[in-house]
Chain A
């Protein structure tokens, strides 16, 4: 175990130097290096906001199930099926029917089924059917819901990204988490309230006429100054037709306003409506609330317009941002939020590094005190171990968190274990073995399995923690896990080679362990 071929020595030190090179990159400031890798600091260390958003798909499901009504009624009529008690509920449609068998066949038909399309990817239908006596209940199947959620989620991620990019925070991370969630990380952000406000609005903008009568087909909404208005349900034009929106000032009153530009289709619709309805009022409705309901003084055919509504300039800016980025398909809820101020982050780095240095020094002195020259070997390996640990973190571009620093310190404490196991074994062998070289040889080979066993158990714990942990805890799992691997390498190759040099060059025949 103490003989190393030249090629082995070369490989060991090459690997060490290769990994250490990446450690150095962290202390390099220039951006134009060919390899530009660095350990990222977690939000808990550099400060920033973490938001977990969840799409609330209930309104969307209601809307989607409603959209099935016409197809369903048409199907029933075409096949001469008489229905009674037709009801549209939050998540399902229900009615009663005499010939349930016939309906069931139609419902599950695989050919040209407009009502209930067959989803090939999932090998399943979009809708579920439940028949009790003559009562039929139609709702979305698990897979139907999955597709609704998934498309809503993808769309939401896109809109969230546009909105956040528009606000202009540095290096945001926006990722999908599971079936219904979006993770947003905003480094350096002190107060996430504005972002939360912006993401909290679906921003569904409608232009609808104010109706005189309160007959069927109107919504009763309150205007910006508390006036109760009947708003026609017919949507003239929606936010989808907007191509741009900018905050502006009204040239006369100097009030902040939002000016918008429409696409061709939008401009045509807007032109036609304003031409036909001069003198009437047009309500601008955002998320079910009236922003303003101005009178149409003259036809607007230029494809652009202005929204005024007692805004502050900030509100006008945010509204135009929302209109530019488009509407979210469904509301987003903030289900988890964590914000760390930059000064706490700095304090954490400081105390983390101080405790690392102190822990390190304590262990180093202890090892020298206990094992003399071989303690020195263990310490050199420990330093090499730390350098390699940071190097691997750099190669992986891992995120270093406060618990991650704790993981490094813990590695310092546990890394010496491998060397201790080996040294203690050698000590025992020295009691019975006359040849020192032989004792070292046996010591290393006998301790090998134990060292492996002992480290694999901790590695298992680290892997599971990585798989199930979230955020900062994941950072701990990463440093702990990588720490074990670099520990094994440094104890088994670096330390063994250093020990072999001492033992083989030892002329006095005395070993002080």
Chain B
């Protein structure tokens, strides 16, 4: 592996790319919005398996027409004969709705139907779930900021938080662009991405800080280059093993984990990129040098 890649020369191009991606994501999130699942929007979800080959999407749809349910979304889900039906919530509480839907499907499709999963989330609960999801993500960002603030100098804190926002916004932005469903497990994925991205950034920052003290004559871009190169094989290996595990979930883990593992894969790729091309340039921007560290020198040496 070539261990002398001149990363800092590519900072400008990379930053431009990051800014474009970031802004595009923000625009999509604001104007197109996110495709919330029933966890956050409320509604009913039914996963069914039909043994009859004649069952198809339009038949399922038409058998529900009589119920006047409003927005009904039917799609194939994994294996042949498996379907996922999503129904938007119209009324606050309707305990009769689910048995009614089940009865209609069984009668009109004229097939043995196995209801594998039935979920119903009321509007009150869904808005609470969304709220607690947002709180959880904000709180984790704040906790990371705090941790980095006590462990590093302020320039590093800002760098890692910018990298973190970069990762979270772009991951969520891609979900918006591709209209992928955002549900509870995506919140879990985003939080894990926060942890992972931070982890990656911290490793490089640790090394930059060490090298700043060691090679006081070097410019920050040179120190950054050196540090990134020194930690590069670790960065790549860890990303690879994590990706191996995630791809295995994505391919073999079943439909339910698809969205989660996809978000994680995006997050790991973006997080790895950002710790090199976003977190490090911020230090250059702040003209960090060995003097920055002087006050906290004792803390660095283990």
Query: Hey, which bits of chain A sit against chain B, CB under 8 A?
Result: 44, 52, 54, 191, 193, 196-197, 200, 333-341, 343-344, 347-348, 351-352, 354-356, 358-359, 362-363, 366-367, 370, 402-403, 405-406, 409-410, 412-414, 416-417, 420-421, 424, 428, 445-446, 448-450, 453-462, 464-465, 467-473, 476-477, 480
Q: In the bound complex, how far is the Cα of B207 from the Cα of A449, in angstroms?
A: 11
Chain B 156-199 near chain A by CB (<8 Å), digits 1 or 0? 00000000000000000000000000001101100110111011
Contacts of A454 in B (CB 8 A): 199-200, 202-203
> Beyond A196-B95, A468-B135, is A339–B245 a contact (Cβ under 8 Å)?
no
Nearest CB in chain A: distance from B141 CB, A = 10
Nearest CB in chain B: distance from A195 CB, A = 11
A339–B254 contact, CB under 8 A?
no
Q: In the bound complex, how far is the Cα of B104 from the Cα of A92, in angstroms?
A: 44
Contacts of A462 in B (CB 8 A): 191, 195
Binding stretch for chain A, among B10-18, B28-36, B56-64, B113-121: B113-121
Residues 241-274 (chain B) with a chain A CB within 8 angstroms: 241-246, 248-249, 251-254, 256-257, 260-261, 264
Nearest CB in chain B: distance from A370 CB, A = 6
Nearest CB in chain B: distance from A386 CB, A = 12
Q: In the bound complex, how far is the Cα of B188 from the Cα of A462, in angstroms?
A: 9
Contacts of A44 in B (CB 8 A): 256
Q: In the bound complex, how far is the Cα of B151 from the Cα of A465, in angstroms?
A: 22
A359–B195 contact, CB under 8 A?
no
Q: Which residue of chain A has its CB nearest to the CB of B115?
A: A341
B234 at the interface (CB under 8 A from A): yes
Contacts of B118 in A (CB 8 A): 337-339
A469–B147 contact, CB under 8 A?
no
Which of B195, B203, B237, B261 has the largest count of A CB atoms less than 10 A from its CB? B195
Contacts of B191 in A (CB 8 A): 461-462, 464-465
Nearest CB in chain B: distance from A371 CB, A = 9
B114–A457 contact, CB under 8 A?
no
Contacts of A363 in B (CB 8 A): 241, 244-245
Neighbour of B136 across the interface among A200, A412, A468, CB < 8 A: A468
> Beyond A352-B253, A473-B185, A473-B188, is A453–B242 a contact (Cβ under 8 Å)?
no
B293 at the interface (CB under 8 A from A): no
B52 at the interface (CB under 8 A from A): no
Q: In the bound complex, how far is the Cα of B79 from the Cα of A466, in angstroms?
A: 32
Contacts of A334 in B (CB 8 A): 93, 95, 120, 122
A193–B117 contact, CB under 8 A?
no
> Beyond A200-B95, A339-B118, A473-B188, is A460–B195 a contact (Cβ under 8 Å)?
yes
Contacts of B233 in A (CB 8 A): 424
Q: Which residue of chain B has its CB nearest to the CB of A471?
A: B184
Contacts of B288 in A (CB 8 A): none
B124 at the interface (CB under 8 A from A): yes
Q: In the bound complex, how far is the Cα of B196 from the Cα of A476, in angstroms?
A: 15
Q: In the bound complex, how far is the Cα of B250 from the Cα of A210, in angstroms?
A: 67
Q: Which residue of chain B has its CB nearest to the CB of A459?
A: B195
A193–B302 contact, CB under 8 A?
no
Q: In the bound complex, how far is the Cα of B248 from the Cα of A406, in angstroms?
A: 10
> Beyond A366-B241, A454-B202, is A348–B256 a contact (Cβ under 8 Å)?
yes
Nearest CB in chain A: distance from B250 CB, A = 8
Neighbour of B185 across the interface among A333, A348, A450, A472, CB < 8 A: A472
26 contacts between A and B (CB under 8 A): A334-B122, A335-B121, A337-B121, A338-B117, A354-B252, A370-B237, A402-B256, A410-B242, A413-B243, A414-B241, A416-B237, A416-B238, A420-B238, A424-B233, A454-B202, A458-B199, A461-B192, A461-B194, A465-B140, A468-B132, A468-B135, A468-B139, A472-B184, A473-B185, A473-B188, A477-B188
Residues 98-115 (chain B) with a chain A CB within 8 angstroms: 98-99, 114-115
Neighbour of B93 across the interface among A333, A410, A428, A445, CB < 8 A: A333
Q: Which residue of chain B has its CB nearest to the CB of A54?
A: B124
B88 at the interface (CB under 8 A from A): no
Contacts of A420 in B (CB 8 A): 234, 237-238, 241
Q: Which residue of chain B has its CB nearest to the CB of A197?
A: B95
Q: In the bound complex, how far is the Cα of B133 from the Cα of A200, in angstroms?
A: 29
A424–B184 contact, CB under 8 A?
no
A351–B241 contact, CB under 8 A?
no
B240 at the interface (CB under 8 A from A): yes
B302–A446 contact, CB under 8 A?
yes
B136–A413 contact, CB under 8 A?
no
Neighbour of A473 across the interface among B143, B184, B248, CB < 8 A: B184
A450–B202 contact, CB under 8 A?
yes
B117–A358 contact, CB under 8 A?
no
A470–B234 contact, CB under 8 A?
no
Q: In the bound complex, how far is the Cα of B196 from the Cα of A454, in angstroms?
A: 8
Contacts of A339 in B (CB 8 A): 115, 117-119
B222 at the interface (CB under 8 A from A): no
Q: In the bound complex, how far is the Cα of B244 from the Cα of A54, in angstroms?
A: 43
B231 at the interface (CB under 8 A from A): yes
B245–A412 contact, CB under 8 A?
yes
Q: In the bound complex, how far is the Cα of B96 from the Cα of A197, in angstroms?
A: 9
Contacts of B187 in A (CB 8 A): 469, 473
B144 at the interface (CB under 8 A from A): yes
A337–B199 contact, CB under 8 A?
no
B129 at the interface (CB under 8 A from A): yes
> Beyond A409-B248, A420-B238, A428-B230, is A464–B139 a contact (Cβ under 8 Å)?
yes
> Beyond A354-B252, A465-B191, A470-B129, is A344–B241 a contact (Cβ under 8 Å)?
no
> Beyond A362-B248, A468-B132, is A351–B254 a contact (Cβ under 8 Å)?
yes
B230–A469 contact, CB under 8 A?
no
Neighbour of B254 across the interface among A341, A352, A414, A465, CB < 8 A: A352
Nearest CB in chain B: distance from A272 CB, A = 39
> Beyond A453-B151, A457-B195, A461-B140, is A470–B184 a contact (Cβ under 8 Å)?
yes
Q: In the bound complex, how far is the Cα of B246 from the Cα of A354, in angstroms?
A: 13
B124–A403 contact, CB under 8 A?
no
Q: Which residue of chain B has its CB nearest to the CB of A411?
A: B245
Contacts of A403 in B (CB 8 A): 185, 188, 257, 260
Contacts of A405 in B (CB 8 A): 253
Additional A-B contacts beyond A343-B116, A406-B257, A464-B143 (20; CB < 8 A)? A335-B121, A335-B122, A336-B125, A337-B121, A341-B114, A352-B253, A355-B257, A358-B252, A363-B241, A403-B188, A409-B246, A413-B246, A416-B237, A421-B234, A453-B202, A457-B202, A462-B195, A464-B139, A465-B192, A473-B184
B143–A450 contact, CB under 8 A?
no
Neighbour of A355 across the interface among B188, B253, B264, CB < 8 A: B253
Q: In the bound complex, how far is the Cα of B197 from the Cα of A461, in angstroms?
A: 11
Which of B200, B245, B252 has the largest count of A CB atoms less than 10 A from its CB? B245
Nearest CB in chain A: distance from B128 CB, A = 9
A-B interface, 5 closest residue pairs, ranked by CB to CB distance from nearest:
A413-B245, A461-B195, A359-B248, A458-B195, A468-B136
B297 at the interface (CB under 8 A from A): no
Contacts of B244 in A (CB 8 A): 359, 362-363, 366, 413
Nearest CB in chain B: distance from A438 CB, A = 16
Q: In the bound complex, how far is the Cα of B245 from the Cα of A412, in angstroms?
A: 7
Q: In the bound complex, how far is the Cα of B210 from the Cα of A327, in angstroms?
A: 70
> Beyond A424-B233, A472-B185, A477-B188, is A341–B116 a contact (Cβ under 8 Å)?
yes
